[in-house]
Structure 1
Amino acid sequence: MLLHQLTSNKRYMFWTLQAVGWSGWAFTFYLGVLFWGKVPSENYHWYLPLISLIGMGFTLILRALYRAMWEMPIVRRVVAIFIGSYLAGLAWMACRGAIFYRVFPEQRKPYEQHGMEWYSYFDGAISAFWVMLVWSALYFGIKYYLQSQEEKERWLKAMSMAHQAQLKMLRYQLNPHFLFNTLNAISTLILDQNNDLANTMVTRLSRFLRYSLDNDPMQKVTVAQEMDALRLYLDIEKVRFEERLQLHFDVDDNAETALMPSLLLQPLVENSIKYAIANAINGGTIAINAKVFGGDLLLSVADDGPGLDLRNGRLPKGGGVGLTNCRERLKELYGQDQNFRLSTTEPHGLTINIRIPLERETKAA
């Protein structure tokens, strides 16, 4: 929780790093004093925290300067970093010297005796400059890193939104011919005064469209739910084709609870009806299968129509929008961990085989 708050809140991160950084400097400086000699007096325990706070104050001035020149050319920023760090180091060292020699006057005598007060101040100013320069480098480094992470997050978010938009576009490309043919069939039934069947078709069409629009293409449904929706769609088409359309469902029991993209098979079945059933005088048969093999869910749609001119199991150019959309949708969802292959149904027809990773619906505890 603390790490998340640190990385997500820039203000919290800045002040935390400031506190940790300057506390670390004070502790390291104190260890250096212990290593090279004795601590001047008991007042040293408040002297170091005081000059650390003063140094932190100068870094806040540097922060305001760097914010103001953030959009400047890189050369100006580099020059500003060195000049700002040097001036901040001089000012910080002046404050340190004034406080130090007032609190520890005995430390000043050796330098006064040899006329080297200026050397002591110059030597301390150089070290203070390096402290400020390191702080500036860390400030720019962390800020550039956070900025790059934000840009990466925005890019990932944009890619995710584009990914979802692509899926929805592919998912919602229902063939307008299906709606036109269904409404035309309903109109014919009404003209024939077959109102009961017309009402049944309207009800089924309404339920199917509601299902297709209510289901998020980013979410998956069970095979059993998908087959129910497919039967709903095919019940509508059965009214149109009657006995010319023969259907066979073969779904294994262990495949019913497997997850798959919603309405993945509908455009494939629609493609079979369009090319294999509608153009045949005696109609034809469509077989839908689902089974589990190893760690995969295997789906297939087969018809006994004229088939397609296949080349190595791939769709020839102009071979159908529904097939292309289905293939693209699988690529968007599963990447390379899927397979979409076309083959010839013996003695004639088209078989579409789909392999996707096996997923099960997780039940809430």
Structure 2
Amino acid sequence: MKPASTMRPVRTAEAATTSLFHRLFPVNRDIAIKSIFGVWGAYFVFVTSRFLYVAQGNVDALFVQRILMTSICITSTWLLYRLLIAVRGRGMKSAIFMLTLPTVVLANYIAILDQIVFDHEAVVFDFSYLLKAVDFASFDWAYVLDEAFTRYFIFAGWGALYLALSHSQDAQRMMAHSRQLERVNRESELRALRYQLNPHFVFNALNSVSSLIIDRQNQQAEKMVDDLADYMRAVLTGGAQDMITVEQEIAQQVRYLEIERMRFPERLRYSVDIDQATKDWSIPSLIIQPLIENAIKFGVSGSDQPINITISAQSEGDRMRISVANDGRVIEPTARADDRSTGTGTGLTNVQDRLRTLYGQNASLLLANSKDGMATATIILPDPSQIFQDI
């Protein structure tokens, strides 16, 4: 292994080279390099290939002269690139101006150099004529104007290509950044919605524990505390999983129903009917929690008769229905909105917000009264691949 002292100059040289390279092409580096060398490389290949069908003397010397002119054109295009990035952000008019007057000057300058270089007998690697005084009177100005016209359109064409590619890249970058911000915002919103636990459930559960302790039902109180702790752990800490399977979601809700059944041992009955094909379907965690809360609040709590709650899930092609039904009738949201004692529909709004944030218009929440006297809330979900889509 080489000592560190011998490796430092290498790293310093590499850093200096990289720094110089970045200073030469500070903006849209890949686009600038590829377009400049691509355009003039194609031009060089085209003009050089003319010897295949046009007789030319001293082909080797002409080849070297074309390399010289192509290098000058590449340098001039780099100057135009620097002019374009100098007016970057000042609007399209400034860019168009740079592609007119400065570009015309560059084109004429290149045409004059072209006349000087090719108006001499070609000798390989002999450029001494470049040091002699230029006799403008001997110029073929018609040739110069033709060359200036051709070079101008090459420069202007490159400039338009560069601006178009740069604008496209900037637009794609901004779109990707916007999508990333939107996704982060959606995920943050989802987590905020997900953690909107109903405090009444916690208070009621703790009151039930207190009542069991007072009644010296210590075993039931301990079980309820354990169930409540497991449930809260699943909701608050296990949730780093924002999407879980239907089977996991149902298991969480059964744990919740078991806690509530300790409060209403004689009145709360529940059943689960899950289609085997839906068990591995990914759904938002706790998405049916507010529906079950409503079933208990407006069903069990509001009646002294036994109330049945049914949780079901069925697949329908590329969609799935997951429903929560309870004995009773659906209370109209408008009627409930003004009754602070019975709730304001926050739970249902939470569900709708989460569905809209995740699936756009591809998911829905439906409330209905069934023919067999059940109030039913149904969530219709698309295939999980349509998460974060708005169409």
- TM-score, scaled relative to structure 1: 0.82
User: Structure 2: where are the runs of 5+ without partners?
Assistant: 1-26, 124-128, 130-134, 338-343, 386-391
Q: Mean Cα displacement is larger for which, 251-260 or 239-248?
A: 251-260
Q: Which residue of 1 aligns with 2:173?
A: 150
How far 1:203 moved relative to its partner?
2.2
1:177 maps onto 2:200 in alignment: yes
Q: Which residue of 2 aligns with 1:41?
A: 58
Q: Which residue of 1 aligns with 2:363?
A: 338
C-alpha distance in structure 1 between counterparts of 2:140 and 2:315, whole Å: 86
> Which of 59, 70, 73 does residue 52 from structure 1 map onto?
70
CA shift digits 1:113-160 (9 cap, x unpaired): x95533333332232222222222222121122122222222222322
Identical-pair percentage: 27
Q: Mean Cα displacement is larger for which, 15-24 or 223-232?
A: 15-24
C-alpha distance in structure 1 between counterparts of 2:384 and 2:185, whole Å: 24
Contact 1:295–1:357, Cα closer than 8 Å, also in 2: yes
Q: Which residue of 2 aligns with 1:268?
A: 291
Contact 1:254–1:292, Cα closer than 8 Å, also in 2: yes
Q: Mean Cα displacement is larger for which, 251-260 or 267-276?
A: 251-260
C-alpha distance in structure 2 between counterparts of 1:150 and 1:278, whole Å: 54
1:323 maps onto 2:348 in alignment: yes
CA shift digits 1:36-61 (9 cap, x unpaired): x3234222223223322221111111
- Secondary structure (helix, strand or coil) at the match of 2:365 reads strand
Q: Which residue of 1 aligns with 2:80?
A: 62
C-alpha distance in structure 2 between counterparts of 1:115 and 1:21, whole Å: 31
Q: Which residue of 2 aligns with 1:302?
A: 325
Contact 1:215–1:262, Cα closer than 8 Å, also in 2: no
Contact 2:36–2:78, Cα closer than 8 Å, also in 1: no
Q: CA RMSD in A?
A: 3.0
C-alpha distance in structure 2 between counterparts of 1:131 and 1:218, whole Å: 56
Q: Mean Cα displacement is larger for which, 221-230 or 182-191?
A: 182-191
C-alpha distance in structure 2 between counterparts of 1:349 and 1:293, whole Å: 22
C-alpha distance in structure 2 between counterparts of 1:121 and 1:345, whole Å: 88
- Secondary structure (helix, strand or coil) at the match of 1:71 reads coil
Change (3 A) 1:338 1:74: closer
Partner amino acid, structure 2, of 1:321: T
Q: Which residue of 1 aligns with 2:117?
A: 99
C-alpha distance in structure 1 between counterparts of 2:287 and 2:332, whole Å: 23
Q: Which residue of 2 aligns with 1:3?
A: none
Q: Which runs of structure 2 are paired with 1:253-264 in the superposition (5 Å)?
A: 253-264=276-287
Partner amino acid, structure 1, of 2:348: L
- Secondary structure (helix, strand or coil) at the match of 1:246 reads strand
User: Structure 1: where are the runs of 5+ without partners?
Assistant: 1-8, 361-365
Change (3 A) 1:120 1:33: farther
Q: Mean Cα displacement is larger for which, 239-248 or 337-346?
A: 337-346
Q: Which runs of structure 2 are paired with 1:84-233 in the superposition (5 Å)?
A: 84-102=102-120, 104=122, 116-214=139-237, 219-233=242-256
How far 1:272 moved relative to its partner?
0.8
